[in-house]
Amino acid sequence: MNRKFFILFGPPGAGKGTQAGALAERFNLCHISTGELLRSEIAAGTALGAKAKALIDNGNLVPDEMVEAMIEAKFQSVDGVDGFLLDGFPRTVSQAEALDAMLSKNGESVTACLSIMIPDSLVHERIAHRALLEGRADDARDEVVSNRIQTYHAKTEPLIAYYKSAGLYREVNGVGTIDQVRERIFQQI
């Protein structure tokens, strides 16, 4: 197999979900949103969903092994695409290492990490707007949003150095219209 594996990266509210559909369509990729995978488990009322809901409602991350198992199952179950667009995974260096190990079992590797960057002030504004539009309770409380931003800086930002050192990091300015940001991402791919 010669599949591509793109990571869509950035703080909460950067526009990863907004941009993912167009990227997946243009490059024939399967979009895997860990948030959507988890929300579908929650909606289905599974044990995994109940555990994830309690964590997410408090602004915490779901344990690595739960997320990694879902991702690997998705890689194995999807055919007819040129690759995958990961949105929300990896979020930590240990998850990135697990992803590398998962892919190397099949002789595959990450193609690029596409990072949509916005300032923290815009994170608050966009998440508040998303909470209204999508009815996402996890986005509605300021303390939860602040915790998500702090968690991003502490646990997820180290991925920048991880992917830079591998020569796979591509940064995109996430400020502007959806179309402007999308065009910047297309140029990076």
Closest to 115 measured CA to CA, from 186, 23, 61, 185: 185
Query: What gap in Å lies between CA 186 and CA 147, rounded to an integer?
Result: 31
Locate the domains of the chain by residue range: 4-188
Cα–Cα distances in angstroms (integers) from residue 85 to residues 6, 16, 21, 30, 65, in the given order: 5, 10, 9, 6, 20
The rounded distance, in Å, linking the Cα atoms of 185 and 147 is 28
Average pLDDT for consecutive 10-residue bins of the chain (189 residues)?
90 88 95 86 84 83 84 89 94 93 96 93 79 65 78 86 96 94 93
The tokens for 63 are 């344990």
CATH class of the domain whose range is 4-188: alpha beta
Q: 93-104 and 64-77 are packed helices; what angle lies between their axes, rounded to 10 degrees?
A: 30
Q: Of 148, 131, 147, 150, whose CA–CA distance to 139 is shortest?
A: 131
pTM metric for this prediction: 0.82
In the prediction, which pLDDT does 80 show? 95
Give the CA count within 13 Å in the CB-facing half-sphere of 161.
8
**Contact call for residues 83 and 189 (beta carbons, < 8 A):** no
